[in-house]
Structure 1
Amino acid sequence: MVKEKIIAIDLGGTSAKLALVSTTGSIIYQWALPTDSSEEGLYIVPNLIQSIQSELKSRNESINEFLGIGFGTPGTVQENGSVVGAYNLGWQRAHPVKEYFDQAFDIPFYIENDANVAALGEQWQGAGKGFQDVGMLTLGTGVGGGIVMNGKIITGSTGSAGEIGHITVDFTDDFLCTCGKHGCLESVASATGILNLAHHLATYYEGNSRLYQATIKDERLNAKMIIDAAKNGDDFARVVFEHFCRYLGLACSHLANILNPSVIVIGGGVSQAGDFLLNQILSEFEHFVFAPIRNKTKIQLAQLGNDAGVIGAASLVIQ
């Protein structure tokens, strides 16, 4: 029997996305499951296994019809398929994810970090389609990263390759990152980072913009409000946005200079700012990047949105 379907899982701190995906990268069917991180995430994997078994039963499908299971997860994936350091899941210590799935299902199981999996998804079916060498930055609450070289994800010696969010891009002590370092890309160029920038730059600003007033009054702001204000010509918002994009352009230049990918993909919720964001990053990137590769590296917005995780998880099985 030719197996043309894959079970794909994209696990997040709030919910898990699950899908049945064809071997050509099309989503056949998908559903979601709340993530129960209580008791150090003890119930997460059993709930996922039970949900898969229930969905297959309701669809009158057998596990033996599937080529394998692909799984994207927060945290660091160890060589034995355990996950450690996924704090939003309660998995501070090594959690034996692969062992549980191998006991429940008699088909191959593959697991990788979620940012890496999203990069694989974009390389296979999204903005990096047709290219073997792709880097990805995911701009959300933090900054995730993934690197695909020769069509394969780069994991490094301990599974932490691609931590682009923790490249140091600022050399002051003004921006403390959640990792404990100062000046990480994540601290100045994520949805949280742009707020950090606004509060920091407000101490030096001498104009009188609407966003500036909202910042010094500690009004409830978010990344979209700041970027929208910049689009609409607010002077202080444009200052913040230019600093934000300068850090991103610098980080992209480091990625390009070191790895020389064909494409760098910008994804995550902040990427919904579209061409306004992309064009400013490109302008900064061209200023910093090594001249011989300046016109050889594309920077593009992600195309798969919330489906990147499950499509990338399916590609783990294909690989």
Structure 2
Amino acid sequence: MSQYYVGADIGGTTVKLAIIKENGTITKKWEIPTNTDNKGEAIPSDIAASISNTLKEENIDPSMVVGIGAGAPGFVDTTTGYIHEAVNIGWKDFDFGNLLADLTGMDVWVDNDANLAALGENWLGAGAGCTELIAVTLGTGVGGGIIANGQILNGANGTAAELGHVTVVPNGGAPCNCGKTGCLETVSSATGIVRKAKEAAEQHSESKLNRYINEGTLTSKDVFEASKAGDEAASAVISEITDVLGMAIANMAIAINPEKIVVGGGVSKAGDLLLDPLEKAYRKYALPRTAEASSFGIAELGNDAGVIGGAFLVKKNK
């Protein structure tokens, strides 16, 4: 009899869901809105109802589902699925894992969303087969996941590999959602890139960035494209954000000596415009022997990395 895993990747705007076979093949994937009203209290019931409805539509008996692997954007107790804080969706001291298990009648495992992306890429993506891997997710924020000795690192209380919250601006840095200032997330995320671009454009009245700013449409993609077209202000921003990110990754690499560094998230769609200067910065700051052992790559699973990682979380725990 076929068995299935359910992957759930909870984001600030949508929850990505998938029914996945034992070999990692996605049978069905879909999304539901993330309801952040009332501090996100309805999210578990929304997920449970959506899974139930989809299993019926696909003629899959719930008994054929081994379990649910879910990722949340915050600080997670991976033993219980308890969310200490997930700022983007309003959770604080939220017993998500047990709630979802009670609502679905299924076993549930929960981890940080960036860790799930790392697990997905390590199972079926750009980091397949690596026993030492750093995965970086560049989106609205900056996420990190580390595979060491073939295992995801969670740390003493679930905050290992929170690369986005490495301090890179010790004094006078921008405020971060975590409560600190000067975090990497405030510099090298999509949000940080836009903020830096606005600052740079103020000093360059001729920059193409000013048109986007005046229209209120500036995105990180626009900054990369302007840089490619030779815009001085945009190029300076890309140089700064990749230099800072490369240094942060190089410092993390000292701890685990990775075989591969995989970069994913929306910002990674810039491809070589991001990867080339980022790898150059990494190799500038990394211990030479550490750099020799590691290669760079763009994540291959795209938006499916989290749900595939969720499936693998169930697979490795059952």
Asked if Structure 1 and Structure 2 have the same fold, meaning a TM-score greater than 0.5 normalized by the shorter chain, the answer is yes
SS of the aligned residue for 1:116 comes to: helix
Q: CA separation of 1:58/1:177 partners in 2, compared to 1, >3 Å: closer, same or farther?
A: closer
Q: CA separation of 1:172/1:200 partners in 2, compared to 1, >3 Å: closer, same or farther?
A: farther
Once the two structures are TM-superposed, the CA of residue 211 in structure 1 deviates from its matched residue by 3.2
Deviation per CA, 1:176-201, whole angstroms, max 9, x where unpaired? 33333332111111111112323444
1:69 aligns with 2:68: yes
Distance 1:10 1:4 in 2: 20
Percent of matched pairs sharing the same residue: 39
Which residue in the other structure is 1:81 paired with?
81
Distance 2:257 2:160 in 1: 16
1:236 aligns with 2:236: no
Distance 2:217 2:67 in 1: 45
CA contact 1:122–1:129 (8 Å) conserved in 2: yes
Deviation per CA, 1:135-181, whole angstroms, max 9, x where unpaired? 11111111111111122211111111111011122334143333333
SS of the aligned residue for 2:35 comes to: coil
Once the two structures are TM-superposed, the CA of residue 72 in structure 1 deviates from its matched residue by 1.1
Q: Aligned AA for 2:81?
A: G
CA contact 1:199–1:215 (8 Å) conserved in 2: no
- For 1:180-259, list aligned pairs within 5 A: 180-202=179-201, 205=203, 209-211=206-208, 213-214=210-211, 220-259=217-256
Q: CA separation of 1:175/1:34 partners in 2, compared to 1, >3 Å: closer, same or farther?
A: closer
Distance 2:35 2:213 in 1: 38
Q: Indicate the larger mover: 154-163 or 105-114.
A: 105-114
Distance 1:146 1:63 in 2: 31
Distance 1:262 1:187 in 2: 27
Once the two structures are TM-superposed, the CA of residue 265 in structure 1 deviates from its matched residue by 0.9
SS of the aligned residue for 1:147 comes to: strand
Which residue in the other structure is 1:261 paired with?
258
Once the two structures are TM-superposed, the CA of residue 47 in structure 1 deviates from its matched residue by 1.7
Which residue in the other structure is 1:57 paired with?
56
Q: Aligned AA for 1:87?
A: V
SS of the aligned residue for 1:184 comes to: coil
1:41 aligns with 2:31: no
Deviation per CA, 1:80-114, whole angstroms, max 9, x where unpaired? 2222312332312x222222233244443211111
Q: Aligned AA for 1:165?
A: G
Distance 2:70 2:108 in 1: 8
Once the two structures are TM-superposed, the CA of residue 266 in structure 1 deviates from its matched residue by 0.8
Pairing partner for 1:314 from 304, 311, 314: 311
SS of the aligned residue for 1:295 comes to: helix
Once the two structures are TM-superposed, the CA of residue 212 in structure 1 deviates from its matched residue by 6.1
Once the two structures are TM-superposed, the CA of residue 70 in structure 1 deviates from its matched residue by 1.0
SS of the aligned residue for 2:145 comes to: strand
Deviation per CA, 1:43-76, whole angstroms, max 9, x where unpaired? 2111211221122222222111122211111222
Distance 1:193 1:200 in 2: 11
Q: Aligned AA for 1:34?
A: P
Q: Aligned AA for 1:85?
A: E
1:17 aligns with 2:13: no
Q: Aligned AA for 2:281?
A: E
Which residue in the other structure is 2:101 paired with?
102
Which residue in the other structure is 1:150 paired with?
149
For this pair of structures, how many residues does the alignment match? 315
SS of the aligned residue for 1:210 comes to: coil
SS of the aligned residue for 2:195 comes to: helix
Q: CA separation of 1:231/1:313 partners in 2, compared to 1, >3 Å: closer, same or farther?
A: same
Distance 1:174 1:104 in 2: 43
Q: Aligned AA for 2:152?
A: I
Distance 1:114 1:23 in 2: 21
Q: Aligned AA for 2:311?
A: A
Once the two structures are TM-superposed, the CA of residue 124 in structure 1 deviates from its matched residue by 0.9
Task: Calculate the TM-score normalised by the size of structure 2.
Answer: 0.92
Q: Aligned AA for 1:249?
A: G
Q: CA separation of 1:27/1:58 partners in 2, compared to 1, >3 Å: closer, same or farther?
A: same
Distance 2:88 2:193 in 1: 22
Q: CA separation of 1:269/1:96 partners in 2, compared to 1, >3 Å: closer, same or farther?
A: same
Q: Aligned AA for 2:31?
A: A
Which residue in the other structure is 1:275 paired with?
272
Which residue in the other structure is 1:113 paired with?
112
Q: CA separation of 1:222/1:64 partners in 2, compared to 1, >3 Å: closer, same or farther?
A: same
Deviation beyond 4 Å, 4+ runs, structure 1: 212-220
Q: Which runs of 5+ in 2 are unaligned?
A: none
Q: Aligned AA for 2:267?
A: V
Q: Aligned AA for 2:33?
A: P
Distance 2:181 2:35 in 1: 32
Distance 2:100 2:216 in 1: 47
Which residue in the other structure is 1:178 paired with?
177
